């Protein structure tokens, strides 16, 4: 059985300090697969949102290329921009959750 020494950061009321922890190969393998599957699942859950953002950007470019009215072009640009911002926020929250951090709620 393979053992791995890792550093885990623990928090006390006054400071943050590393603590050496000994993990067996099986423990690491099991934890890694669980975290990997969870992370992949969370990323895959965001794929429809990414597709919406890409489609919105495509519509914006099509409208601009065909000479659509300025109001329509601006509406599509704002829609695409806001969808990409939502994607970015979602990905930030996925990474924060995987690191064990809680972010404030989004309204």
Q: Is 80 exposed, middle or buried (0-12, 13-18, 19+ CB in 10 A)?
A: buried
**Which tokens hold the place of 36?**
């990997």
Global pTM reads 0.58
Spatial CB neighbours of 21, under 8 Å, sequence gap ≥ 6: 5, 6, 7, 8
Return the C-alpha torsion angle 94, 43, 26, 3, nearest 10: -60
* Per-residue pLDDT of the chain in tens (107 residues, 90 and over written 9): 444 344 444 444 444 444 444 445 554 455 445 466 666 777 677 788 889 999 999 999 999 999 999 999 999 999 999 999 988 888 888 888 877 887 777 66
Ranges of each domain in the chain: 25-99
Q: Which strand (E) or helix (H) includes residue 23?
A: strand 16-24
Residue 17 is predicted with a pLDDT of: 41
Residue 16 is predicted with a pLDDT of: 41
Residue 5 is predicted with a pLDDT of: 40
Residue 70 is predicted with a pLDDT of: 97
Token look-up 């290329």 returns 65
């Amino acid at each position: 059985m393979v053992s791995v020494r890792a550093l885990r950061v623990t928090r006390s009321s006054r400071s943050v300090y590393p603590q050496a922890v000994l993990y067996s190969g099986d423990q690491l393998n099991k934890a890694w697969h669980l975290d990997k599957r969870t992370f992949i699942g969370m990323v895959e859950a965001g794929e429809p949102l990414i597709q919406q953002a890409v489609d919105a950007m495509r519509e914006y470019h099509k409208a601009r290329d065909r000479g659509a009215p300025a109001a329509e072009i601006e509406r599509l640009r704002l829609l695409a921009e806001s969808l990409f911002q939502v994607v970015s926020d979602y990905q930030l929250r996925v990474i924060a959750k995987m690191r064990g951090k809680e972010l404030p709620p989004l309204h």
